[in-house]
Structure 1
Amino acid sequence: MDLTKFIDGQKQLILDTYQDLHKLAEPSWEEEKTANYLKEKLLHAGFNIQTYEGHFGFIAEMKGIKKDVIAIRADMDALVQEVDGVVKPNHSCGHDAHSTMVLFTALALSKKKFTHTIRFIFQPAEEKAAGALKMMEEGALQDVKFLAGIHLRPAMEVSFGKAAPAILHGSTASIKGVIKGVPAHAARPEEGNNPLEAAAFLIQAIRQIRLNASDHFSIKITELNGGEASNSIPGTARFTLDLRAKSNETMEKLLKNAEHTIRKVAELTETMIEFNTDEYSPAAIRNLRAIELAEYAVEAVLGKENLEPACVSPGAEDFHFYTLKNPGLTATMIGLGCDLTPGLHHPNMKFNQDALMYGTKILSKMLVEADGQQW
């Protein structure tokens, strides 16, 4: 079967499927309707489906001659954000597009004979940086030798009609904490211990963090809440710190320095600060063999002139947990140019949906090529 002709013939169905998934838009861990929609089409195509207790992630698989697996991962969840004054689930990160392309890659390949087992991983809760970890816990990477992902890219990163063989995301984390002081009347501040003043001290202290690191990093406060009355010193203040680093090694150093700084501020201000690290996502780990496979697929579909270099992104993706936790895994995430504006996570994000066609072709071509290799 000619995969390109098959995918071209499915164009309207691909566009309709994207619209269906876009309208479903379910938050992390609540992707029930999305998963059921995808499973129905995959079951009809003859895939074996494995579901799990407690969440809506699943895998769809076709057995090959070998039990070694080549796989593609799609994320299913939507953001929860304000759109035109209403807070609701909204697909502004492209997960509906990713699920559409991976679904039609599976459908395009469903009648083809494979040497390796092919697996499609439909993952929940990427936006919580928790879905990849859960799918690994469930055994979704068992026997996987090659893993690919795909992500829409903003127009400023990759142009429409082009694709990058890897997205080199940095590492991100949040530190969320509560500063506990002593409440008092504002007329008698000496009787209290103002947690907001401790927070001000903390803000200045984190600005002084310096690391012995060659790559970029940042740490800044993004949330501070405390107090409800102008004449009262509050008892507590809540804060969030956003941490970013280009490499996992630098993030490890940054987290240690931040934790030391918080403890020191608590000591100096005689407050109690309780905190924890949240929403951690690792940086991408570049894999040359996977990148070469992606380059082959992009060139085959779009031409060599439309192959972009690896896309360096300040954002984050929990796809990189798969490689962090499995050092021997050959994996990459393709960056798909699609004229995406104004940007990812913007409530009015839009893109050229024709990119769904060539994204599906790239994934299909890459899986076929991966199947022909020794793992």
Structure 2
Amino acid sequence: MELDVIALRRDLHAHPEVGFTEFRTAAKVVEILLSLGYEVQYGEETMDGPSRRGLPSEEALEEAYQRALRDGANPDIVSKMRGGYTAVIGVKKGQAPGPTVGFRFDMDALPIRESADADHAPQAKGFRSVYEGSMHACAHDGHTAVGLGLAAKLADGSFHGTVKLIFQPAEEGVRGAYAIVQKGCLDDVDYLFCHHQGTDVPTGEFHGGGQGFLASTKLAARFYGVSSHAGASPEKGRNALLGAATALMNIHALPRFSTGSTRVNVGVLEGGTAANIVPEFARMVIETRSVSEETNNDLEQRVRRIIAHSAEMHELRYEIDVIGAAIPIRCDEELVQLAMEEARQVEGFHTVKASVESAMGSEDASFMIRRVQEKGGKGTYMIIGSHLPAPHHHPKFDIEEEILPRGVELLSRIARRVLT
């Protein structure tokens, strides 16, 4: 059976949903997998609730849930996802025993307003986002479409072993994979293949592995003080915003490390209500990154100490939550070479390479690959090149749609190669 992956991608592109709110997308994935005869797990079956990171507010989750219902999501399916349980796993057992091969596809969009310029292909061709302020600006619509195209290719079950297709929410901010891992959904996977489209690799080029993904931790810190009149009695107040600002300056003053490249950034700082009121609340969002997991952990602990001492200095209470995390990816050479061999057999791939360095980014598929490897299996993270008219996370981001059927063919060949 074949799916029109280009038409499917355009539908997904027009209805982008950010992390943990992918209700319409996930419901469509469930419907298609069921129609193809897959055993399908979704809702709380697929995610450990407390392990979800950076979960949106209850109001945001409910608003997105109701929007999905208005836009045609199957109410019987989507009701199991209510509250942000939007992962979907499709399982197809073959005609004889064999290994389990997993493929992971991320589904979420970004909080970006998509370009409405006439030279932007989704606008010109009529599939620009209908949700203002949200956009598929990182190819996850293409990833999901390829995953469903692969499901159709393997629906006959004519292989030895089991295929497990993992559709992950909330990759952006590296938030969603960890809860799937903690639920145990990767524990039976012998071989795991993850991929990304684009990433500054040109159309027609394929890389069997990705290198250079950074360990990262995303933290949300909240400071609690006491409000007071800023003119009449400032000494009676405890300035939460000042405490947060103190932390910000010292976080950005952290030294470099001899053990590996690092990054640190305070991306959000907010607080206060009026010019004449000492702010009683402030919030900041911070990320740390490093090529080394150990160095990132050290950097994170230094950030935590700065927050604690800044709060103490200004007599504030504080809280810190981890809202996202990733670890480095180590690809298994056996799978890198296998993927390269199969790519050479697919029309349209004219350049095949072993690996490509990431642009100092992070990926929470890292937790999935690590768990498979810890259980004795193997994993890799592949790159399918695509010309990009604008960078990832840009309002004019788009992919070359010709890569979608090519990606389906490649992953199908990989699956059947492993499951012979």
Q: What TM-score comes out, normalization by structure 2 length?
A: 0.77
Equivalent in the alignment of 1:62:
92
After superposition, where does 1:157-168 map in structure 2 within 5 Å? 157-168=200-211
Equivalent in the alignment of 2:389:
341
- Among 14, 22, 26, the residue aligned to 1:35: 26
After superposition, where does 1:261-276 map in structure 2 within 5 Å? 261-276=306-321
After superposition, where does 1:36-55 map in structure 2 within 5 Å? 36-53=27-44, 54=81, 55=85
- Among 330, 333, 338, the residue aligned to 1:288: 333
The offset of 1:334, in angstroms, is 1.2
Equivalent in the alignment of 1:14:
5
For residues 246-271 of structure 1, give each alpha carbon's deviation from its aligned partner in whole angstroms, at most 9, with x where no partner exists.
23222111111111222222333333
After superposition, where does 1:110-189 map in structure 2 within 5 Å? 110-111=155-156, 113-127=158-172, 129-154=174-199, 157-168=200-211, 169-187=213-231, 188-189=233-234
For residues 312-366 of structure 1, give each alpha carbon's deviation from its aligned partner in whole angstroms, at most 9, with x where no partner exists.
2322222111123342331112112111232222233111111112222221222
Choose between structure 1 and 2: higher strand proportion. Answer: 1
Q: Which stretches in structure 1 are left out of the alignment for 5+ residues?
A: 1-5
For residues 181-226 of structure 1, give each alpha carbon's deviation from its aligned partner in whole angstroms, at most 9, with x where no partner exists.
3433333434434333333322221123236542211112211112
Instruction: Work out whether residues 22 and 169 of structure 2, in 8 Å CA contact, stay in contact via their aligned partners in 1.
Output: yes
SS at match of 2:392: coil
Structure 1 pair 308–286 and aligned structure 2 pair: CA distance change class (3 A) = closer
Q: What TM-score comes out, normalization by structure 1 length?
A: 0.86
After superposition, where does 1:223-242 map in structure 2 within 5 Å? 223-242=268-287
Equivalent in the alignment of 2:239:
194
- Among 248, 255, 260, the residue aligned to 1:210: 255
Structure 1 pair 129–212 and aligned structure 2 pair: CA distance change class (3 A) = closer
Q: Which stretches in structure 2 are left out of the alignment for 5+ residues?
A: 45-80, 117-130
Instruction: Work out whether residues 68 and 143 of structure 1, in 8 Å CA contact, stay in contact via their aligned partners in 2.
Output: no
The offset of 1:101, in angstroms, is 1.0
The offset of 1:112, in angstroms, is 5.7
Q: CA RMSD in A?
A: 2.6
Equivalent in the alignment of 2:400:
352
Q: Look up the equivalent residue of 2:7 and give its one-letter code.
A: D
Percent sequence identity is 27
**Larger deviation, residues 356-365 vs 264-273:** 264-273
The offset of 1:308, in angstroms, is 5.9
SS at match of 1:323: helix
SS at match of 2:171: coil
